[in-house]
């Protein structure tokens, strides 16, 4: 079954502004046709319009489709006031966050309305406004401050509300691009604040293990399954060094060169562990026992009970570290663990990097 697409907060804000403008022009409508950056159009129903002092406001109930978005079915509103001229100005109001940290596409102190939605609002309004008429638009989001608690905004330094986002105007369920862009944004914010060391950790287990070692949470980024794209982002941002902490199953994939660790894209965890075990002298009986394990954690814990197995796990970390250094262009230290929170092996100047991070 295919998943249903939705529309972004940027498209919702554009539609709300268009609805209010049409209402002021004496052309009220129950829906509007928004022109997207791709040149295609999207029909969006309006929640309603009403008069306000000096203008009108419209609102739209944001539809995220089948994407698990905290803003799904929340209202996004726009107040519009018309004036003589041909300029359309856009600002944020209550419920739209304010940027407080550098590194994002919006300057510090401005409302978190990304460049794409700004262009969409301006261009769509100019399409429907008569020549010589401009507009002042204020986008606001009821319950925006509350909704923002369920987003990445607090981590990115966006305070007081949600962001108005959307490069394409369309939400694709569980979009890989959206997740990767969030990771890049976090890395960009850290780098823009002058930090040149970062910790990459796939998932909550990795973050928790990093925290238990004393790695500052503000310098730890959850890279999910997108290890390769995160390392490439580190290279582009010119980080000096990085720590990579991952559960042994993911570390085995990275050591073997699989940089997207999602189960639908790569596996071979037990095979990788067997290969490193064989390289370090584990006999065929041990290799068979490893291959018969149900999980990578079970296999690694079994290996950790032998000298050869521990050497194999150290080799796994060295290989993963080499790949991290090659992709990021930075010094790297790696650590792998199994549940419940048992360190298995490490490679590189881990303690020195953690100490340096804590001193930043």
Which distant-in-sequence residues (6+ apart) come within 8 Å of 193 by Cβ?
101, 102, 103
Question: Are the C-beta atoms of residues 277 and 343 closer than 8 Å to each other?
Answer: no
pLDDT value, residue 176: 78
- CA gap 141, 130 in Å, rounded: 28
Share of the chain above pLDDT 70, in %: 99
pLDDT value, residue 152: 84
- Cis before 340? omega within 30: yes
pLDDT tens-place string over residues 30-84:
999 999 999 999 999 999 999 999 999 999 999 988 777 899 999 999 999 999 9
In 217-348, beta strands by DSSP E:
220-222, 241-247, 331-338, 342-347
Q: What's the mean pLDDT in 93-120?
A: 94
283 dihedral zone (left: phi>0; alpha: psi -120 to 50; beta): beta
- CA gap 163, 76 in Å, rounded: 11
- CA gap 9, 78 in Å, rounded: 12
pLDDT above 90: residue 226: yes
Q: Please report the DSSP string for 111-148 in residue order.
A: BSB-HHHHHHHHHHHHHHSPTTEEEEEEEE-TTHHHHH
pLDDT tens-place string over residues 131-141:
999 999 999 99
pTM of the model: 0.77
Token pair 């999602």: residue: 262
Q: How confident is the model at residue 359 (pLDDT cuts 50, 70, 90)?
A: confident
pLDDT tens-place string over residues 72-89:
999 999 999 999 999 999
Q: Which of 1-5, 146-150, 239-243 has the lowest mean pLDDT?
A: 1-5
pLDDT value, residue 183: 94
pLDDT above 70: residue 2: no
In 141-263, beta strands by DSSP E:
158-159, 161-162, 170-171, 197-201, 220-222, 241-247
Alpha-carbon radius of gyration of the chain:
25
Beta-ladder partners of 140? 77
More confident site: 335 or 2: 335
Taken in order of first residue, the domains within the chain and their CATH numbers are 6-171 (3.30.2110.10), 176-358 (no CATH)
């Amino acid at each position: 079954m295919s998943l249903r697409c939705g529309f972004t907060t940027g498209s919702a804000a554009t539609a709300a502004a268009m609805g209010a403008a049409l209402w002021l022009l004496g052309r009220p409508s129950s829906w509007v046709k928004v022109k997207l950056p791709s040149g295609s159009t999207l029909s969006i129903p309006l929640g309603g319009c009403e008069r306000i002092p000096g203008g009108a406001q419209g609102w739209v109930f944001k539809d995220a489709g089948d994407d698990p978005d905290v803003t799904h079915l929340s209202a996004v509103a726009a107040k519009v006031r018309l004036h003589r001229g041909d300029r359309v100005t856009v600002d944020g109001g209550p419920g739209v966050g304010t940027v407080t940290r550098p590194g994002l596409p919006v300057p510090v102190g401005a409302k978190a309305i990304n460049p794409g939605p700004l262009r969409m609002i301006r261009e769509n309004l100019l399409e429907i406004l008569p020549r010589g008429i401009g507009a002042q638009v204020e986008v606001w989001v009821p319950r925006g401050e509350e909704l923002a608690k369920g987003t990445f905004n607090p981590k990115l330094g966006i305070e007081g509300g949600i962001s108005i986002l959307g490069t394409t105007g369309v939400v694709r369920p569980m979009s890989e691009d959206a997740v990767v862009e969030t990771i890049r944004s976090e890395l960009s914010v850290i780098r823009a604040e002058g930090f040149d060391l970062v910790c990459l950790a796939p998932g909550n287990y990795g973050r928790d293990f990093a925290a238990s070692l004393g790695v500052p949470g503000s310098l730890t980024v959850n890279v999910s399954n997108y290890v390769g794209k995160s390392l490439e982002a580190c290279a582009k941002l010119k980080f000096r060094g990085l720590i990579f902490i991952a559960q042994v199953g993911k570390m085995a994939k990275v050591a073997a060169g699989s940089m997207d660790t999602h189960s639908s894209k790569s596996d071979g965890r037990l095979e990788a562990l067997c290969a490193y075990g064989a390289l370090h002298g584990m006999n065929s009986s041990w290799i068979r026992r490893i291959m018969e394990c149900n999980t990578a954690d079970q296999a690694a814990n079994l290996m950790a009970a032998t000298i050869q197995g521990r050497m194999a796990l150290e080799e796994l970390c060295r290989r993963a570290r080499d790949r991290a250094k090659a992709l990021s262009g930075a010094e790297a230290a790696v650590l792998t663990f199994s549940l419940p929170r048992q360190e298995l092996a490490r490679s590189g100047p881990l303690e020195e990097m953690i100490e340096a991070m804590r001193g930043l």
